[in-house]
Structure 1
């Protein structure tokens, strides 16, 4: 067994729940957060396998085992999906996930052995602290050890630990991102999402169209509104391509074909587009996975599933921001949504709602 990495206490949860991806039967989540700097990984596990799809919309992705998810390719089910900080280095965490799954007897049977199928995606958080500290195989393994059906922690944990948002006008005016989850249940079928938001753009509450977090004004005390700033002709700074990215997983207990899972991964990006602006830029590697456990034994019409998938994805993004807490690393301070005076007041309606 790999050496257990150091862990830190999880932050307290935000007051209201929007459900969780673990409300989907057959889904577990485990997370690991490093102590040396804000980074980590989040693992979505389907012990019995799940039909899977993926869609990459950002122009600077970092991924592993995504090509096999295309509907025309052989492998029908995956056993976990890893969402990781650490940029390309973080892909190593998936190896630890594979090792843990193999020890549990979970994987694709190949003769006398098993090959656990673990697609992964990463976000860039290397500008937050020591770049030599990043998720590795031991971190991925430990996330699996700690996995459960309980609602996962949100905010500054796992893949969201080092996430920032609103970076189009420079890191110094950005805010804290994070990881969030949500779920909905309609007609006996549950759909959930887990999203780590590290976007170059602002995060928007879809129900109010208000900016929740993003690029701040030059004095740092309010929200700039990146979309309006760009439309007004304010030139962005020159952020390094690929230093952003929103990654996530949507899951359902409905029975899906591989083609349907692929379509739902595409639809999940509609949820990103409702809650992040700008999104899918040349500076982001936005990637969404879709899983169908089939545990409900029910099929559902694709229009209904598509509505649910887009909705829970958008809610999970907003949850990630509402759960985030400010951090200060190497003299750089990034406030969270609740730290900005303009945001004090009622909780945005887009973060909750019926389950």
Structure 2
């Protein structure tokens, strides 16, 4: 069962960025020796935070402290990284960078930076012994700014791939994307590294934008319809995929409300990825509030904004991606498949 590629999606349409939220900075580190890297979302003044994990195979650090009933209220950075569990080392470099600048929670005579992290699996592209480490996290902080971050195959999205249910040889290149939504005085932004097992779809039309390809590799195979038609997927290792991201807002909300916002972020992922939250994904979203705007339009509106920003950022992650070829593996990008 094959379907033609969907009509071109306008990537050049302004979508905003997570850095449209005051108090948020983003920096990428992309390894020069193979497609992997990390991305840091900085909140130097601290931000109230929450997290929600939906995938069955997550790789995370410092997520338990973000539970609404636990003591710590604020974080100072979030790290998204490739390299599977090895990539969690990048958070140590971010802590060192923040510590050198006196940023952290006062604990006796010292300040302790709070840096939760999540990772995705990209070890099959190139030499898997090369992974993001503490130096990579430090370099991402050095590169951070409030300008719109680069999208595509950079940072945590450098080694991402999508549409792997029928084998990696029929998958396509993933990446990292960003978007923002504004209602009144409030902004919600998202940063998403998309390394999904499933396809990425246009949430407005349902058309597949990137994902599993036909056996000849020339067209898209609509994974959802194929599975429902009884086509058997390839066996997948747990944790060999995963989409991870951050939503941020300038609205003043509580830690419990940040948890709800992180849950809403997954609604946006589910609109742009199908199938989603599988046993082979570790899908994780963090939510941040910089509290720069006193009022907010209510949690229903904020959750709607978060889901929309995540869906748009996920689409942009694959539309900004470039193809990868190496070691006998070819992962075309969405833009390349459309042209062919």
TM interval, short-chain normalised: over 0.9
Unaligned runs of 5+ in 1: 1-13, 345-355
* Misfit runs of 4+, over 6 Å: none
Task: State the TM-score, normalized to the length of structure 1.
Answer: 0.92
- Do residues 239 (structure 1) and 232 (structure 2) align? no
> Deviation at 1:152?
0.3
Cα distance in structure 2, aligned partners of 1:321 and 1:30? 19
Cα distance in structure 2, aligned partners of 1:298 and 1:109? 28
Equivalent position of 1:316 in the other structure: 313
> Deviation at 1:305?
0.1
Equivalent position of 1:6 in the other structure: none
Equivalent position of 1:83 in the other structure: 80
1:26-175 residue pairs with structure 2 within 5 A?
26-175=23-172
Equivalent position of 1:25 in the other structure: 22
Cα distance in structure 2, aligned partners of 1:123 and 1:221? 27
Cα distance in structure 2, aligned partners of 1:137 and 1:78? 18
Equivalent position of 2:217 in the other structure: 220
> Deviation at 1:332?
1.0
> Deviation at 1:174?
0.3
Equivalent position of 2:193 in the other structure: 196
8 Å CA contact 1:25, 1:296 repeated in 2: no
Unaligned runs of 5+ in 2: 1-10
Cα distance in structure 2, aligned partners of 1:184 and 1:53? 19
Cα distance in structure 1, aligned partners of 2:57 and 2:225? 24
Cα distance in structure 2, aligned partners of 1:72 and 1:44? 24
8 Å CA contact 1:261, 1:292 repeated in 2: yes
What do the CA deviations read for 1:102-126 (whole angstroms, capped 9, x no partner)? 1111101111111100000000000
8 Å CA contact 1:190, 1:252 repeated in 2: yes
Cα distance in structure 1, aligned partners of 2:143 and 2:222? 39
Root-mean-square deviation (Å): 0.9
Task: State the TM-score, normalized to the length of structure 2.
Answer: 0.96
Helix, strand or coil at the partner of 1:295: strand
